[in-house]
Amino acid sequence: MGRAGKELARWMARAGFAGDAEFRRATYMAAMIRCFPGRNASGTGDRPPPRRAIENCAPWLEAELRLLRPRVLITVGQLASTRFLGPGRLEERVGKRFGEEPVIVPLPHPSGQSRWLNEPANRERLAAALALLSELRERCLTSNS
């Protein structure tokens, strides 16, 4: 597991999941695209996925969501937030819940490249989002059947 995955696991522990194993059993993770977009030109991180790749992979993601019918959808990062909630800033979304079936809880991306959490107000937004996930934890752990 990479740095971002380890940070996400720490966040989920703060949200009340009994370790990474419980979180992974209770959730299904899917990327916006199914292929690696490559490193950015400076070599300091990954390139953002091209719009066309997101569009090409959208039917796969939609099929997965139809099959799984998640009760809680955790969007991680700006791209996922925009995909499910439309245009808007993370500052307006992280720490809030949207919808009912599924409930959508936006998070920032846990990448070390992201500077979003450098702002104290954004750290407070993340804490509020993790508190929401704590409240929704049982909903994550129960199936739709």
Calpha distance 109→49 (Å, rounded): 14
Whether the predicted model's global pTM rises above the 0.85 cut = yes
DSSP three-state, residue 101: coil
Q: How open is the CA angle 99-20-44, to the nearest 5 degrees? A: 85
Backbone angles phi, psi at 75, to 5 degrees: -90, 130
Question: Architecture of domain 3-31+46-141 in CATH?
Answer: 3-Layer(aba) Sandwich (3.40)
**Residue 21, number of CB atoms within 10 A of its CB:** 10
- pLDDT tens series, the chain, 145 aa: 788 889 999 999 999 999 888 888 888 888 888 888 888 888 877 888 889 999 999 999 999 999 999 999 999 999 999 999 999 999 999 999 999 989 999 999 998 888 999 999 999 999 999 999 999 988 777 655 4
Ranges of each domain in the chain: 3-31+46-141
